[in-house]
Amino acid sequence: MIAEVSKNIFLHASQNKSLNKAAKKWGLRFGASQVVAGVTIKSAIDTVKKLNEKGLVCTLDHLGEFVSSREEAIEATEYNVRTLEAIFRAGVNSNLSVKMTQLGLDIDKEFCLDNMRRILETAKKTKNFVRIDMEDHAHCQVTLDILRELREDFDNVGTVIQAYLNRAEQDVKDLKGIPLRLVKGAYKESPEVAIQDKNEIDGNYMRIIKEHLLSGTYTAIATHDHNIIAKVKEFAKKNNISNDQFEFQMLYGFRTEMQLSLVKEEYKMRVYIPFGDDWFGYFMRRLAERPQNVAFALKGLFSK
């Protein structure tokens, strides 16, 4: 009960615009610097270099979502373009992740599409891949619509499917052939659209992982759950699925020893690295996911 109340508090805080605005002025606080790689492109690239040296590949995510003006969306688009160019210049191994609401989806779909095309053109020139991050259920269908439209011209783009959504299994089947990042899900959703029981979510997560792997499509399995990871390893070996067809993904700052262990076992291990001053919503969702993360944050706060 306490854990559920705590989760709801952090999820509510993640969508509070006043708190988010204040957080930009605070700078990285409350342990956030342990899970967010600074506020600049340079700090993010420096982090990627260090992780690459350890055999880890990366994905950079310039934090920000739910922008309300065209100016903000254009600024975010330009920032993502500069990030791709910086990745190329530095010669580091990192993809890019973007959120549609940061690029103006709530303002106008076509405007968002134009911004996304500009990012993908830069990614194509720099030989990189862009992941469209999945947001709340209200943005799910339009995100997939945009993905399908973009895939007509670009093969260097994929998206994320969240296992807790009732529609997840069918979406994975419909998206056969498109590289997907599979996650459990981190937004607060109603029982009408999402599974609420943890064990049921875990079960559905394994179902969509197996579905996508058996389809022969490249699959990114994003989880810190060692039980899920063990099951994926076993399933891949049993079904003769090459390690080249999938990768594991984890968040920057979490389970670093396990990340390095997977590299030693010759699995591809990608670290998702968020950066930027719009860090508050992301950090609150991480605190909401697991009670252990709250203790992690408090430790970071009092160690300063």
The domain made up of 37-278 is a member of CATH 3.20.20.220: yes
Q: Which of 61, 106, 133, 278 is catalytic?
A: 133
Amino acid at 226: H
Q: At 9, is the pLDDT very low, low, confident or very high (cuts 50, 70, 90)?
A: very low
DSSP character string of 64-118? -----SHHHHHHHHHHHHHHHHHHHHHT--EEEEEEGGGGTTTT-HHHHHHHHHH
CA proximity to 247, closest of 219, 227, 223:
219
* Distances from the Cα of 72 to the Cα of 85, 248, 297, angstroms: 20, 33, 30
Q: Which of 131, 136, 171, 181 is catalytic?
A: 181
DSSP three-state, residue 154: coil
Q: What is the rounded average pLDDT of the residues 185-210?
A: 95
Write the pLDDT tens digit of every residue in 150-185: 999 999 999 999 999 999 999 999 999 999 999 999
d(CA 100, CA 218): 22
* Closest C-alpha among 35, 20, 25, 119 to residue 67: 20
Domain residue spans in the chain? 37-278
Q: Which pTM was predicted?
A: 0.86
Q: What mean pLDDT value characterizes the chain?
A: 88
Tell me whether residue 133 is one of the annotated catalytic residues.
yes
DSSP 210-250: HHHHHTT--EEEE---HHHHHHHHHHHHHTT--GGGEEEEE
Amino acid letter for position 236: A
Q: Is the pLDDT of residue 192 over 60?
A: yes
Which amino acid makes up residue 255? Answer: R
Dihedrals phi, psi of 254, to nearest 5 degrees: -120, 135
**248: β partners:** 221, 269
Q: What pLDDT is stored for residue 278 in this prediction? A: 76
Residue 172 CB-density burial (10 A; 0-12 exposed, 13-18 middle, 19+ buried): buried
Does residue 263 have a pLDDT over 70? yes
Euclidean distance between CA atoms 260 and 267, whole angstroms:
10
User: Is position 118 annotated as part of the catalytic site?
Assistant: no
Confidence band of 64 (pLDDT split at 50, 70, 90): confident
The yes-or-no verdict on residue 20 having pLDDT over 60 is no
Tens-place pLDDT, residues 202-249:
999 999 999 999 999 999 999 999 999 999 999 999 999 999 999 999
Higher pLDDT among residues 282 and 10, named by residue: 282
Residue 131: which H helix or E strand, with range? strand 130-133
